[in-house]
Amino acid sequence: MNTSLRFISPEHRRDKWRKKRRASNNVIKLSGSPQAWNIDGSCSDKLVDEDGNNKISWIKFWEIETGVSRTLCSYSDCKEEATCGGHIWVKNKGVVISPICSGCNHPSNVERQQNIDGDNSTLRKNQIVVKVEMTEDMFCAERRYSESVRECDGWVRKKCFFGRRKKSTDRNNVGWEKKRTYVRRCNECGDDISEQPENHKVCIHCYYA
């Protein structure tokens, strides 16, 4: 484990929130449209209000810190209204909170996963975000990656797999280790259909529905 990373537990984060709001220098206006993706392991990261009673949503936290009201989802290719404060990894910046829609916040959305071919999502130009610290759960979580795959019908689609970057001193041997096969989802209900033939697009229940 990289000891240079400083982790903050959810409990410590809650205590920090009770005592004092985050310093304004954590609010960043991003230049351009940087590559970004949802970070795994963020579901345990919670906040409460200054009295220590009611939970505060991350999108409310973002509004308080920035002084800006939510509008559209932060991802540049999404036109939905923002409803969640998403934990997002911004390339060369780290973990930030930014308003996104519920669809982009869903863990099965392959468009919002890190793509091993570099075909990552981007945030809107000059998006305002709040920088937060990486928790241990985020660092240790099983990683979801997407890969662009050309299928038999000629279309290139993104598919999800769980894996990790190979550790190698040989620059010519850099690649990815897949911990298990692609996770394919039913187009109708989202159930795992990885065990079904590649040409199947829906689960057996939706097929006969």
Residue 127 shares a structural domain with residue 158 = no
pLDDT at residue 208, as a whole number? 81
Residues 70-122 pLDDT 10s: 999 999 999 999 999 999 999 889 999 999 999 999 988 888 988 877 788 99
Strands (DSSP E) found in 48-103: 84-90, 94-100
pLDDT at residue 24, as a whole number? 53
pLDDT at residue 162, as a whole number? 57
Cα–Cα dist 44/21, whole Å: 20
pTM over 0.75: no
Residue 103 shares a structural domain with residue 173 = no
Cα–Cα dist 77/205, whole Å: 32
- Residues of the chain with pLDDT > 70: what percent? 65
Of 51, 64, 47, residue with least CA distance to 99 = 64
**Residue finishing a domain among 91, 120, 140:** 140
For 2, the token pair is: 């990289």
Of all helices (H) and strands (E), which one includes residue 65? helix 58-66
Whether residue 207 has pLDDT greater than 70: yes
For 132, the token pair is: 């937060």
Of 71, 70, 8, 17, residue with least CA distance to 42 = 8
Residue 127 shares a structural domain with residue 162 = no
Q: What band does 181 get if pLDDT is binned at 50, 70 and 90? A: very low
Domain residue limits at 183: 143-208
Q: Residues 6 or more apart from 12 whose CB is under 8 A from it?
A: none
Residue 72 shares a structural domain with residue 109 = yes
Residue 129 shares a structural domain with residue 193 = no
**179 or 77, which is more confident:** 77
